[in-house]
Chains A and B, each alone.
Chain A
């Protein structure tokens, strides 16, 4: 069974304090690993899709990396507006097309 575990559950940082969020996964053949940002009361906002180990993608202060077992979302010099829940999901090759989500990391950036 495909599984995604995100850590930590919650993270508080000071503005400008860089850190990383972890997404560990087990999947029977990875088609893609997805990162989303979700603000309270809103739908998830697409950030990245990663396809193979060694791949990296960047968007503003965020950088996502991928290995065969986990993905990291690095946030550099975060600002209060980066506060949100960050969700990781995997999609496997094969019949089922669905994303399997982790429980998310709730990130709070204090000014």
Chain B
């Protein structure tokens, strides 16, 4: 399988401060990474899609100036929550997609998720 790590796993910050979350694909290169947030007992909500070396594409309703995404390399993407407020408290999960070409022209898309970061803004 493929491993995606996230750091930190938990963070508590004061309202008005900024928080950076790192996402790394440890044993594969990911041209595309995704950031999600998840509220209790709900499914994942996509925030943005990022491709290495280009600007992220944000979903409707997600403020790009508040949630800054940088995809600096094929193994690293960061999400910075700027001027965090209590309503930004959530579970943030990154994901990395790998496209593999297999034998006889077959291919596979696999998308792996990190363990998540629990953000609490006080």
Q: Which of B13-21, B66-74, B78-86, B108-116 contacts A (4 or more CB under 8 A)?
A: B108-116
Q: How large is the interface on A (under 10, 10 to 19, 20 to 34, 35 or more residues)?
A: 20 to 34
**Interface bits B94-111 vs A (CB < 8 Å: 1, else 0):** 010100000000001111
From known contacts A87-B43, A97-B97, A103-B43, infer whether A43 and B114 are also in contact, taking CB-CB under 8 Å: yes
Closest to A95 in B: B57
Q: Which of A15-23, A28-36, A65-73 contacts B (4 or more CB under 8 A)?
A: A28-36
A17 to nearest B CB, angstroms? 24
B115 CB contacts on chain A under 8 angstroms = 42-43
A77 to nearest B CB, angstroms? 24
Bound-state Cα–Cα, A41 to B16, Å: 25
B108 CB contacts on chain A under 8 angstroms = 49, 51
> CB within 8 Å of A: which residues of B?
1-2, 4, 6, 32, 34, 42-44, 46, 49, 59, 91, 93, 95, 97, 108-116, 118
> CB within 8 Å of B: which residues of A?
31-32, 34, 36, 41-46, 49, 51, 87, 91, 97-99, 101-104
